[in-house]
Amino acid sequence: MDTSEHASRFHSVDGRSFVGQVPLDQPLLTGDFVLLDRPGSSRLLAQVLEKHVTGRTSQTSGALRAAVLPDGTVAPVEPRPFADASAQVPPAEVVDAFQRWSGADLAIGATLSGYQAESPALLRRKGFNRHTFVCGQSGSGKTYALGVLLEQLLAETELPMIVVDPNADFVRLGSVRPGADPRRAARLSSADVRVLRAPSGSLPEGTEQLMVSFAQLSSAAKAAALRVDPVRDRDEYNDLLRILDESVGQREVFAFAEQLSSQDSDVAQAVVKRVQNLGILQWDIWSRGRTSLLDYVEAHPRCLVLDVSGCRVPQERSVAALALLDHLWERRDDRRPVLVVVDEAHNLCTSEPVDELQAAVTQRLVQIAAEGRKYGLWLMLSTQQPHKIHPNVLSQCDNLMLMRMNSTADLARLGDVFGTAPPQMLATATSFRQGEMLLAGGFVAAPMIARVAERLTEEGGSDVAVPLRQPEAEPAAQGTLPAQRATEGAGLSPPRDPTR
């Protein structure tokens, strides 16, 4: 930073925060770290959280993050006011030492700074014992960044994960891509990643079929599949529960429907008509006595990816998600830690469910969000439409990974929920480039803006490229130029020759 007579000067009235005037020509951005020198005292690592222009200077304020001792080690800040301090750009190793001192050691990318002094962006592995929210609009790099995050958790922790993957984006999470850094990839390649795919033709090598056992569903889940609402259809629901509690209710859906069809009771025939009218017997998700989703869950693989992209109807996705969530909640007293990752979470955790199945999934997610942490059930929800996420789930999230987001209404909503995200840093999300992100919450040492690292594994899905026409041959020296022909008759002028 500037060391002339116009250099930045800072003071603190409480020993925890700072304010000061910074010349406008200083490339200091909101979120940047600065190193404050105080006469006769240890240096302080501070972070800029707000800037307001006043004349030819900017009023700058922020938080004091740590004391930097003469030997370079980091220590807690002693809350002592000071009247005058000069500032300089902190070396990358100081920012790195601060992050590691706070317990952050999981590399996710590189910090971005107005001074171009990059340092590793690190996450706290222990910070994932809480719910995490990942969001960004289409094209922001959200899915790519989520893949990097899951790779790092697989490589650097023992945390089991179950990924609900609606677009087959993470089906190759266990396949290290050619050319990946061998040092970083070594620990990842040994992770036990199992992939279950919803029926959609032949299965790729190394994957199994995603199937749900009707018999293993809870009575409430079966009723939801039959679209019987406990309040709206209270009499029918009560009769249905009685049937489901009997032996016939413990069978697979085909035997269940067949046995009921042979009964003369009005209730049995009403249930059979529901099964037929809803086309439930035609769903490909049913296990038909074969290995079910819950059997794989009980085998406790390190990572289980549920590729639901092949589901023909949305209700099949909801059935798979509900079977999983109900099972985890039923076994919550085992206190076996697991991270449940839901991509495109607005489809399963919506504030406006479209049917009983979606409502049941949302209700279970609300319950896990509110009470699951003490049982080791942690959520990671990813979406490009945060306004559609149920507010009782969003309000329970502590960690935030925010990619580019143009909607000011969504940013305002996120600002209300995530108090650890400074407003000015949050506002910069509208100008993020692809792969840039704001990290805030308990999984970082301090809120920071960073650029995501490269993937180690192959992406399961990618954007479809626009078909391009091959360039035309060079026109003859005499005659009409291609650009002129394209604009003739359209009332447009041909493009200006930039060489003139």
Residue 3 lies in a domain: no
Residue at 154 is within a domain: yes
Low-confidence ranges of the chain (pLDDT < 70): 1-7, 116-117, 200-206, 247-250, 461-466, 473-500
**Model confidence pLDDT, tens digit, residues 349-365:** 998 999 999 999 999 99
Distance of alpha carbon 28 from the chain centroid: 29
Q: Same domain for 188 and 240? A: no
Q: Among the three residues 452, 467, 488, which one is the final residue of a domain in this structure? A: 452
State whether 72 and 86 are in the same domain: yes
Q: State which of 433, 452, 471 marks the end of a domain.
A: 452
Quick one: 146 and 185 in the same domain? Answer: yes
Please check whether residues 42 and 126 belong to one and the same domain.
no
Count up the domains in the chain and report the number: 3
Same domain, 162 and 291: yes
Residue 290 sits in the same domain as residue 278: no
* Final residue belonging to a domain, choices 259, 282, 305: 282
Q: List the domain range (segments joined by +) for residue 71.
A: 9-90
Which residue in the block uniquely carries the two structure tokens 């429907």? 257
Query: Is residue 491, in this structure, part of any structural domain at all?
Result: no
Q: What is the pLDDT of residue 137?
A: 94
Output the pLDDT for position 480.
Answer: 44
- In this structure, is residue 416 part of a structural domain? yes
Residue 414 in any domain: the answer is yes
- Co-location of 171 and 240 in the same domain: no
Instruction: Verify that 297 and 372 share a domain, yes or no.
Output: yes
Residue 292 belongs to a domain:
yes
pLDDT on residue 238: 80
Is 461 within the bounds of a domain?
no
Is the domain of 277 the same as that of 390?
A: no
Domain of residue 293, CATH code: 3.40.50.300
Same domain, 129 and 235: no
**What CATH number has the domain bearing residue 34?**
2.40.10
Please give the pLDDT value at position 117.
67
pTM of this prediction?
0.87
Is there a domain that residue 352 lies in? Answer: yes
Q: Are residues 173 and 289 in the same domain?
A: yes
* 254 lies in the same domain as 401: no
